[in-house]
Amino acid sequence: MDPITTSVTIARPREEVFAYLADIANHAEFTDHYLKDWRLTREQSYGRGAGARFRVAAPGNRFPWGDTTFVEVEPPYRIVEEGRGGKFNRIKVRGVYTLTPGPGGTTRVEFINEIEPATFADRVMESFGVRPWLKRKTAKAMRRLRAILEEDEQRGKRATIAGG
């Protein structure tokens, strides 16, 4: 699947936005409208190696569980996360957050989401509407991220450690 790119401009300094995004427990707050039941995979939720497991609430999704881990964290510029999902965790997922400073102390956050279907069946499912659905949901997540950081609104629940 071609990468899905969404972006938003947030009226906060880049360092502050990066510090929020570098804590994977915060991601549940702005993505909980389509990624549910977040659980951290380790106690440390900040920086390289931090990870989480969640359920993708997509229509008709028979194998909803996925996971992601921060594999690159380059302050205050870029965060790369990689994970897997779908049946037997065979679908590779990669997300890249790029933060660039804007005029007047603003920050432009660009999120690129890449999904690599493993089999013909996975590619067929993708062709039945996964791409437009995911684009809408990630665009909403970016708007919620802006609302949380600028206005302290639309906060969801932070992720916790499984069983904790």
Range of the domain at 77: 4-161
DSSP-H helix ranges across the chain: 14-21, 27-31, 120-125, 131-151
pLDDT (tens digit per residue) in 31-51:
999 999 999 999 999 999 999
Say if CB 64 and CB 55 are below 8 A apart. yes
pTM above 0.85, yes or no: yes
Q: Which residues of the chain have pLDDT under 50?
A: none
Residue 157: closest CA among 29, 43, 53, 37: 29
pLDDT recorded at residue 117: 79
- Give the CATH number, domain containing residue 86: 3.30.530.20
By DSSP bridging, strand 35-40 and strand 160-161 are parallel
Place of tokens 């909980």: 32
Q: How many CA atoms lie within 13 A of 55 on its CB side?
A: 8
Domain count, the chain: 1
